[in-house]
Structure 1
Amino acid sequence: MLKGNWIFICLAALLGVLFALEGKWIFLGLAILLFLFLRLVRKFSAKMMLITVFIFILFLGRTELTERLEQTLFTGEEKAFFILFEEPPKIDGNYFTTYGKDEGTKETFVLQYRLSTIEEKEAFEQISVGTVCKVKGNLAQPEPSRNPNAFDYKEYLRHEHISWILEVENINLNQCEEKRNLLAYLQKIRQNGIQYIYAHFPQNTAPFAAALIFGDRNLIEPDLMTAYQRLGIVHLIALSGLNVAMLIGILFYTGLRLHITREKMVYALMAFLPIYIILTGGAPSVIRACLMMLFALVLTKFSRKKLMPVDILSIVFVGYVFIDPHIIYNVGFQLSFVVTYALILSASILEKYVLKPVPFLIATSIISQIASMPILLYHFFEFSIVSFLVNLVYVPLFSVVITPVLMIMYFLHLLIGDLLNPLLHFFDFNLRLIHQLTLYLSKFPLNTLVLGRPSNFVLILYCVGIPYFFFRWEKARTIKQIVVAVIIPISLLTLHLLTIKLDVSGEVMIIDVGQGDSILIQLPMNKGTYLIDTGGTLQFSTEEWMERADPFEVGKDVVVPYLKSKGITKLDKLILTHGDMDHVGGAKAVLQSLKVEEVVLPKVEEPSELEIEILELCDEKKIPIHFAIRGDTWTAGGYRFAVLSPSNTVHVEKNDQSIVLYAEIAKLKWLFTGDLEEEGERKLLANYPKLKVDVLKVGHHGSKTSTTESLLDQLEPKVALISARENNRFGHPHGDVLARLEERNIRVYRTDENGAITFQFRGEQGTFLTHFHMIKRNPN
């Protein structure tokens, strides 16, 4: 009865979950449209319609029940816990993190701890999965994102059913006990397998062997991971259906060669597949592939009925989502199911090329890349435009050589040990060459197309246009018809690009970079894009064992991703107000990631080491540098900008050398003051005695030595913007500054309290918005 129709059951289930989790009536509307389509177009019977409606209601109710039952049982005041370690600990430098379950409530926490000595680090590396330890610490709620489009750790943990971060103060490793059950035993096998690889495999091979055998990618070098992402081939170093099929094939063939009957091997594989899910860490792509394989084996063994692959995939989807409705937010889950659906439903397209290896590989790559395009753009804001070509080389290389060889060498090493070392080192040498090629290719310009996060309207167009493209390709019989079909995804990308470049609105954005400044000015119709400062992360000298593989850096991890989320690939001006780390520390990441037409700096007598590095990078990249002085002006799109400070003299305190920028935007007069302090303010007022502004970016993060009464009395601002880290050690903004602003009824927006601050404008009208307020308005 449901043969060939499970995909519609799948859609009904998905809409039920989305309606429950998002609370938006559009999903109910889409469900009603689905029901009408099934009744009027697909001619579903009354019985089939009842089943579909029942599935929608069932998944709606299941999700609502999940939300109510998963409320935390902790108040946040608890200090002592018995924690079951559920995953191998991740230790990066002196930073320890893992997942652990409270033995009493069975509630899962994220555990975080700063290791104090190398001996402690070595001891913590030995913590086994399945161990129960007494842990003392403090519960803290996860932080939400502080900028639009940024990764929201709090939401991520919510979808992982985690409400608290346990900030560890003490773990007595001598009083831990091992929990004995099958799950813990299998998880420990995985942990031991990963440790075995790192202990016995060479430096280049070990991270890839751990990734492709046990699903652990933690120790792949960040630069190499970024290179694979830029080339659109990162899926090759993640466990997927290909790895599952390959391993099952190897095991099945080995069993037959050992004279085990085909029937017994089928039973053995059915028992092995659930175990393999645990051994590989339970990634959604592996769960999907294993369940599909298991379902197919069960049908082959116990039923004469044959199901279409799309039905098997849909049944797996329905079962998976019923167990964990929140899994629909997992990027790996989305990519795995969407790409697999696309490949299965495009079987008639692939059949045309099945006897031609290269065209078949190209067609498979195109289908996979086009199907995944809206997901990649939504989450990562960019799309690889060379992946179609790169996959021609890397897919066969990984599927035919690297993955099977790594699997075989791992099992051989378990049998013969160090006798395999010559072969391992030969393989490692060749893998290093592949790594070097990957890094080289990733540095080519125009590898990726940065379009920013698509709007809801554009996202809907992708969801409609991409299936239509596959439909037209399927029906195409001539080269001309294929070319016409290809125009569809190209048109979608072009339309997406135009919505970014021809946006009639603009914005002034105070990016929340913690204790620092970074301000984006984006004029309408792409008339001008200016970034004032980049924030920066203070780096302290540490012992080698404490250094992290990929330390947080605000330019790389906050500013550049935000700019990419807006579809920004070029800055007309990068204005660095002065050389303090918290203003220019992220400049190198911006210069390396985006095209910058001009860098604007103040003229100083003795540039800092960081400023020298920026100047050298600009010289290397042939970026013009302008040393701003009072009197510089420019106009773009009818908007006026003027530099009011510094003057020609350089014999002043560093903060008072800050570039002070005046702008007229949306009928408002703006003043961006860098870290200007009292003496600099006095000179500014003396040079411009009639200066008035509407919006003041408060100098030096609201320190006591800035934003004096004389400045406020003359400028008479209506709005004050303060960029400072929450609970920063400097006490910014100072109470005296806040009192002065309050006395004059000046509206204050602060990144420490409000997150990012945005002024959106169209023409002469504009509105101030804060990120945390927007989150509250749209909690889901």
Structure 2
Amino acid sequence: MKGYWHLTAISVAISILTIFFDNYWLIAIFSIWLFYLLYDERLGKVPILLSLTFFLFFLLYIPDINEANVKPPPETIQHKGKIESPITITQNKIDFHFQDYRSENKVLVIYFPENQGQPPSLENYPDILYGATCVIQGEMELPDQSTNPGQFDYRNYLLKQAIPYQLILNSLDDIQCEGSAFLHLVYNIRDMLRKQVEANISKETGSWLTAIVLGDDSLLSDDTIELFQRWSLSHILAISGLHIGLVVALVYFALIKLNLFTKEKAQWIMMLFLPVYALIAGGEPSVWRASTMVLIFIILNKVKLKFSVTDTFSIVFLLLIVVDKYIVYHVGFQLSFIVTFGLLLSRQWISNTNISVMQVLQIGFVAQMMILPLQLAYFSTFQPLSILLNWIIVPYFSLFIIPFMFILLLLTALPSFFVLFFDKAFVQIHNIVLTFIEFMDTYANFAWTMGPLPIIVAVFYYILFFIFMNQLQHGKLNQAFRFGCAITILIICVAIRPYFSPVGMVTMLDVGQAEAFVIELPYRQGVIFIEAGATFSFEDMEPSDRAYKQVIKPYLDSRGISHIDAVFLSHKDIDHVGSVPFMLEDLDVEQIIISDLYELDRDTIELWKNHDIQIQQTKRDEIIVVEDHPFYVLAPYKDHNSANENSLVLYTEFGRKDWLFSGEIGKAEEREIITTYQSLPVDVLKVAHHGSNTSTDETFISRISADYALIAVGENNTYGHPTLEVLETLSEEAMTILRTDKDGAVQYQFTNDQQGTFFKYVP
């Protein structure tokens, strides 16, 4: 099989894609491809037979993640098992993986400290160690799942690590452990290094050192991590082949050049050292890929065998999957191997350049182009200028930051005043670079928000890119330019596809005990919000950004939306307007429409004006037209001296159904509306006040005779919404009730000339 291991790796990759996309047409395509290679005598029978064997084996071996197959958790409250991961301690929690002996399930155990102001500590619990056998008191539960399109699915995320349940500890006294495993000593070294960094280096420098050397980015600020994600710089924070190469060079230099060991003994030491460092560096797939490749090359050199880099890469790919079949779902695994694969295909083009800096730029270009479909799949956005920024930032990190961080870690053994000089120098230089990235993010942010690429488009993208690189490597610049243009046109077509789609969408998002409706008109003529609520803390009554960051923004990104034509706000309660400030910071919002009785405070006026928001106030019987779509204002008609009763009530049509958005009006206002508008056909009613019994009058419901009732309400909310009384009133009129606490996000797809269809996100 020497020289053909890449064929088996491709076979396994196709089996992985078959499972990922549940598309068995790939099997037919793969079989036809192998048959062609055999028929054209490009391959012999042995490589083809092995490729088919690998394909079928991994098709059965790799798990198919399906949340519907997860059974309810065991009802027992005492669990005996073994800790099977390092103990992770962050600023607000402690967690680890626990293998439960009785249920044979892996469980994520989490402890949140009672005093959120103090970081958690295991100082008084020295027996909680990796490999310890423990008895834990607590109830297993299913992790939260996504209830909105585009939202991060925590349950699915854990299932991709073979973890179906979680267990929240009330106290660390609820866990009793004994013993440990040998690997605990390795992880203990990592903790010691972290403590050494914290004791000898400033917090700012230490956060970068632990991220780049120890693979722990938890000390970096969320803003920094999000900034690097937006500009496709996240790969810099992941320990990769470059990091491992530097480690190997430093250790090898110390062992050989300083005459400590012979070359033969140094190789044996490296074989022992690399797995240990991989564990110390967090054990991420990119670390194991690079470390394992170096190990294989050392072993092959010792046994006098020569394998190509492509064969070695393919063998490492297969080994890692055999060791951990769930690793194929790890984003780091996917990014690491697809980038390395692209670099292997481009090595001739890169090696033709003798200038080191130019090679770094070429590597950055290939890496960015290879991860583009994955970037869109996981983050829904692509920054075209990120390729240019990577050309500047990648050499800076490769040639300066990464080597300097490793050297600085060694320098922590010296007197503190010596380390302090280098620490301050790093902070000053690095802040200039970070300021430059932030400057680009502020003034050159032309991100394309377009959502994931369809699988067929991703396939065409990679085909075009591989042809582009092939032409480039053979010096056919004109042909390469044409295929480069084809790639650009393909991405543009995906970005503008909503503007050619006749399908519109009304989405009632699940934002807890709050409301947010997103309206996407056909042909993307306009994007309109009706309410943009948020949850809040009862302690300070300030809106939380949770609804915006975890629900609203991911949904808009997945739909390729960055511009909002209008936001209707019924009244100023946080559960209806709390996400607006966060939207203004991130999105291009054109206008906000409120009633003439909406109470505007000075801070709100200043905030909206600072973002150049057009403020339009309206009143009863006015027609508000947003991008040629009319909204009729039915209320308020007078000042009730109540924010709820003064709610803006809107009437409009989508997909030949008449919709009534009723804010939080009460029963008196509902009766007044049907008295004033006696012929008011309603097909879809947004139930007022989350289903409270202060609204949804029986006479009102009977008169409008709607077919659907939409209730935006939080799961297990303390208000008891929706009340049994309201549900009975709606049921008596045979209305179909759709509610976010049960159905998740509710979507209505329609066209201008046909009635639409309702869909529940949670089946």
SS of the aligned residue for 2:213 comes to: helix
Given the alignment, which residue of 634, 641, 665 partners 2:631? 641
> What residue number does 1:523 align with?
521
Offset of residue 413 of structure 1: 0.8
> What residue number does 2:302 align with?
301
| In structure 1, distance between residues paired with 2:63 and 2:549 | 38
Given the alignment, which residue of 550, 557, 565 partners 2:558? 565
SS of the aligned residue for 1:726 comes to: coil
| In structure 1, distance between residues paired with 2:723 and 2:356 | 68
| In structure 1, distance between residues paired with 2:385 and 2:233 | 10
| In structure 2, distance between residues paired with 1:482 and 1:613 | 55
> What residue number does 2:284 align with?
283
CA contact (8 A) 1:603 1:650 kept: no
> What residue number does 2:685 align with?
696
| In structure 1, distance between residues paired with 2:139 and 2:15 | 37
| In structure 2, distance between residues paired with 1:642 and 1:225 | 44
Offset of residue 390 of structure 1: 1.5
Offset of residue 157 of structure 1: 0.7
> What residue number does 2:150 align with?
149
SS of the aligned residue for 1:414 comes to: coil
| In structure 2, distance between residues paired with 1:92 and 1:334 | 29
Q: Does 1:500 align with 2:489?
A: no
CA contact (8 A) 1:13 1:56 kept: yes
Given the alignment, which residue of 731, 755, 761 partners 2:720? 731
| In structure 2, distance between residues paired with 1:92 and 1:738 | 43
Change (3 A) 1:366 1:769: same
> What residue number does 2:189 align with?
189
Change (3 A) 1:122 1:66: closer
Change (3 A) 1:446 1:67: closer
> What residue number does 2:660 align with?
671
The AA in structure 2 aligned to 1:574 is V
| In structure 2, distance between residues paired with 1:20 and 1:486 | 31
Offset of residue 665 of structure 1: 1.2
CA contact (8 A) 1:570 1:595 kept: yes
Offset of residue 398 of structure 1: 1.1
Change (3 A) 1:105 1:714: closer
| In structure 1, distance between residues paired with 2:6 and 2:665 | 62
- The within-5 A match list for 1:534-573 is 534-541=532-539, 553-573=546-566
Deviations 1:236-269 (A, max 9, x none): 1221111111111111111122202222212111
> What residue number does 2:730 align with?
741
| In structure 2, distance between residues paired with 1:117 and 1:572 | 43
Offset of residue 540 of structure 1: 4.5
The AA in structure 1 aligned to 2:536 is L
CA contact (8 A) 1:556 1:590 kept: no
- The within-5 A match list for 1:15-94 is 15-19=14-18, 23-41=22-40, 43-63=42-62, 75-81=74-80, 84=83, 86-93=85-92
- The within-5 A match list for 1:318-329 is 318-329=318-329
| In structure 1, distance between residues paired with 2:750 and 2:458 | 24
Deviations 1:672-719 (A, max 9, x none): 122222233233223322212101111111111111112211211001
| In structure 2, distance between residues paired with 1:582 and 1:420 | 51
Unaligned runs of 5+ in 1: 774-780
| In structure 2, distance between residues paired with 1:472 and 1:640 | 53
Deviations 1:623-643 (A, max 9, x none): 211123223324467643222
Change (3 A) 1:492 1:358: farther
SS of the aligned residue for 2:730 comes to: helix
- The within-5 A match list for 1:287-686 is 287-305=288-306, 307-352=307-352, 354-417=353-416, 419-478=418-477, 480-541=478-539, 553-604=546-597, 606-607=599-600, 613-635=603-625, 639-647=629-637, 649-686=638-675
Change (3 A) 1:430 1:99: farther
| In structure 2, distance between residues paired with 1:326 and 1:664 | 47
The AA in structure 2 aligned to 1:391 is N
| In structure 2, distance between residues paired with 1:20 and 1:125 | 44
Offset of residue 74 of structure 1: 5.9
CA contact (8 A) 2:339 2:367 kept: yes
The AA in structure 2 aligned to 1:288 is R
Offset of residue 104 of structure 1: 6.5
Change (3 A) 1:82 1:314: closer
> What residue number does 2:159 align with?
158
> What residue number does 1:777 align with?
none
| In structure 1, distance between residues paired with 2:713 and 2:277 | 48
| In structure 2, distance between residues paired with 1:184 and 1:418 | 33
SS of the aligned residue for 1:87 comes to: coil
Q: Does 1:752 align with 2:751?
A: no
SS of the aligned residue for 1:662 comes to: strand
Deviations 1:456-481 (A, max 9, x none): 34333324333233233334434x44
| In structure 1, distance between residues paired with 2:725 and 2:44 | 73
Change (3 A) 1:117 1:82: farther
Offset of residue 227 of structure 1: 1.5
Deviations 1:646-685 (A, max 9, x none): 23x4443111222212111111101112222223323322
Change (3 A) 1:213 1:101: farther
| In structure 1, distance between residues paired with 2:512 and 2:174 | 35
- The within-5 A match list for 1:106-255 is 107-117=105-115, 121-124=119-122, 129-130=129-130, 134-172=135-173, 176-179=177-180, 181-255=181-255
Q: Does 1:708 align with 2:701?
A: no
SS of the aligned residue for 1:116 comes to: coil
SS of the aligned residue for 2:321 comes to: helix
| In structure 2, distance between residues paired with 1:412 and 1:427 | 14
CA contact (8 A) 1:576 1:601 kept: yes
Higher mean C-alpha displacement, 481-490 vs 210-219: 481-490
| In structure 2, distance between residues paired with 1:716 and 1:71 | 40
Deviations 1:134-183 (A, max 9, x none): 4322211112211122221111111101011101123228954451x321
The AA in structure 2 aligned to 1:514 is G
Offset of residue 212 of structure 1: 0.7
Question: Between the two proteins, what is the percent identity of the paired residues?
Answer: 28
The AA in structure 1 aligned to 2:289 is R
Change (3 A) 1:398 1:119: closer
| In structure 1, distance between residues paired with 2:65 and 2:697 | 54
Higher mean C-alpha displacement, 73-82 vs 454-463: 73-82
CA contact (8 A) 2:89 2:120 kept: no
Higher mean C-alpha displacement, 425-434 vs 198-207: 425-434
The AA in structure 1 aligned to 2:509 is I
Change (3 A) 1:129 1:508: same
SS of the aligned residue for 2:511 comes to: coil
The AA in structure 1 aligned to 2:255 is G
CA contact (8 A) 1:86 1:101 kept: no
| In structure 2, distance between residues paired with 1:117 and 1:390 | 42
CA RMSD in angstroms comes to 2.8
Deviations 1:274-318 (A, max 9, x none): 11111111111111111111112211221332x222221111111
| In structure 1, distance between residues paired with 2:613 and 2:409 | 49
| In structure 2, distance between residues paired with 1:195 and 1:730 | 47
| In structure 2, distance between residues paired with 1:65 and 1:755 | 24
Offset of residue 513 of structure 1: 0.9
The AA in structure 1 aligned to 2:450 is L
Change (3 A) 1:575 1:67: closer
Deviations 1:367-411 (A, max 9, x none): 111111001111110112222222222112211211111111112
| In structure 2, distance between residues paired with 1:637 and 1:41 | 58
